[in-house]
Amino acid sequence: MRAFLIVVFTAITFSASAQILNVESLRKVTDTSGFSGSASLDFSLKRDKNNYFEFSTDALIQYKMKRHLVLWKNDVTFKNIAGNKFQNSGVTHLRYSYKVYPQISLEMFAQAQYNKVSKIGFRGLLGIGPRFKLTTSEDYKVYLGTHLMYEQEELDNEISIVRRHFRNSTYLSFSLYPTDRITVVSTTYYQPKLSAFKDYRLSSETSFLINIFSQFSFKTSYTFIYDEYPAEGIPNSQYNLTSGIVYVF
């Protein structure tokens, strides 16, 4: 299963809303030009003191032509807790990649997101930088990327706060293929503010994917996120364990 695509699934144990989108989990490794992508519809039902229902929809489209690659992803999550409906989070990401050399690509991206639980009313990102392929083996792949990123963030609280600054966004990603049906992907992001390196975010995601049949696979993923300066009342660390089925086209 050398060509793969990972999307976000229904949470089955712990639940936290990610603040850093793992773009590496979106890529489909293929030498074929044209369109590809995925679609996912997820549900989660829980009852303790309250009735809890979550519905999420994910869509991804990828287009590749020779040295050019374009990725677009849109995720929206809705939650209903004790009969109170509210829209929890959403993210739209657009990325363009141009292969300068076989091992080096130049990437540009734009992203917009909101996250009610993390009190992020709006966060907009614009970034550019190189991506390096560090291996040539087909049994495993390692990538390193580093980007200059402009961020504008508006917190959703009683006091209107708008933050504008530049960050570095560096990631290290590796993919392992133990068998034709199993894929393991792990990606770690480090995003410090350039004017104050003590203000940083760290995100790590590890995914385990098993091909079931045809275009369907089962995936389990664990994500950990740390934000040194989150919105007031939000914990520094969040984590998420998800599992489900993905359809790739």
The predicted pLDDT at position 4 comes to: 36
The predicted pLDDT at position 105 comes to: 96
The predicted pLDDT at position 29 comes to: 62
| DSSP string across the chain | --S-------BSS-----SS--GGGG----S--EEEEEEEEEEEEEESSSEEEEEEEEEEEEEEETTEEEEEEEEEEEEEETTEEEEEEEEEEEEEEEEEETTEEEEEEEEEEEETTTTEEEEEEEEEEEEEE----SSEEEEEEEEEEEEEEEE-SSS-EEEEEEEEEEEEEEEEEEETTEEEEEEEEEEEETTEEEEEEEEEEEEEEEEEETTEEEEEEEEEEEESS-STT--SEEEEEEEEEEEE-
Q: How many CB atoms lie within 10 A of CB 228?
A: 14
The CATH architecture annotation of domain 23-248 reads: Beta Barrel (2.40)
The predicted pLDDT at position 128 comes to: 98
- Could you tell me the mean pLDDT of each successive run of 10 residues in the chain, 249 residues long? 36 41 62 76 57 72 92 82 68 94 95 83 94 90 96 78 90 92 92 95 91 84 88 82 76
Handedness of CA 115, 202, 217, 68 (dihedral sign): positive
Long-range CB contact pairs, 193-201, < 8 A, 24+: 193/165, 193/166, 193/167, 194/165, 194/166, 194/167, 194/168, 195/165, 195/166, 198/228, 199/228, 199/229, 200/228, 201/19, 201/20, 201/225, 201/226, 201/227, 201/228
Domain boundaries, the chain: 23-248
The predicted pLDDT at position 11 comes to: 29
The predicted pLDDT at position 3 comes to: 42
pTM of the predicted protein model = 0.79
